[in-house]
Amino acid sequence: MDYYKNFISTFDRLNTSNNSRRVFEDFVELSACTITHREDILNLEERDLRRFEILKNYDSKDSELFSELFYIAAGALTEKPEQDFLGAVSERLNLGLNLMSYDLAVTNAATILFGEDLNEMPIRFMDTAAGAGTQIIAMANALKKNGVNYQNDVYFVAADPDRTAALMCYIQMSLLGCAGTVTVSNSPTDETFSVLNTPMLFNGVWDPDRKIAAVMNHLKGIDFVEEAKTRPEIKTLSDL
């Protein structure tokens, strides 16, 4: 199946009264709200209200198309985890998000892991300019190839000031079973706007002690960070 072709053809069937960038942003936010629906009980009412606000701008049939887009993305990442599907789709739609290429992210992951001891678990990987999660995805796959069960042994921390990019990252991390948090934040000012926890955090493996262990290993230097970017203090350590 050509998931890219199916995604774009389905996308083109959505309400044409909105521009492509707006429709894609709405798809991303609706998908993120759907993923958080079960675990994020405290913000359930707020997210339901936000979903209603988005969908009132579309026809009733469009709600099904948004769901179809989500299942296409899920199928694409299930069949081929080694890709930034949403980032590639946004590029094909010419949305101007200026995201990292997956090939570059793969090279970065190999460079970061070169010579590292992967025996002490759990470990943490942080990307404070995560975009759509390209580097997170590449690192998860690189760790898997090195014999690491990234779903159970790696805590991922992602942040980006662009809300749409951060939600794309959250969706793809969730679909790939990455445990961690995604923060919409402004790194230069250290201002945090929202924090999302991926569903894998609630699977029973990542109990509070294990989350603390990941942080302690980080403090001991057992940590992997996207070195090409700045590394501000993350304000969500209380969530770890």
Domain match, 107 and 85 both: no
pTM of the model: 0.84
Domain match, 68 and 170 both: no
User: What's the pLDDT tens digit per position in 142-190?
Assistant: 999 989 999 988 999 999 989 999 999 999 999 999 999 999 876 555 5
Domain match, 229 and 152 both: yes
Domain match, 122 and 199 both: yes
Q: Does the residue 97 lie in any domain?
A: no
Q: Does the residue 80 lie in any domain?
A: yes
Beta-bridged to residue 180, according to DSSP, are 156
- Distance spanning both ends of the chain, measured CA to CA: 38
Report the pLDDT value the prediction gives residue 217, as an integer from 0 to 100: 55
Give the Cα separation of 134 and 23 in Å (integer).
Answer: 22
SS3 content of the chain, % helix, strand, coil (to 5): 55, 10, 35
Output the CA torsion 64→66→70→75 (10° steps).
Answer: 60
How many distinct structural domains can be found in the chain?
2
Domain match, 138 and 64 both: no
- Domain boundary among the residues 92, 123, 147 is at 92
Domain match, 190 and 142 both: yes
Q: Please report which confidence band the pLDDT of residue 120 belongs to, taking 50, 70 and 90 as the band edges.
A: confident
Write out the residue range of the structural domain in which residue 63 sits: 3-92
Radius of gyration of the chain (CA): 18
Domain match, 79 and 109 both: no
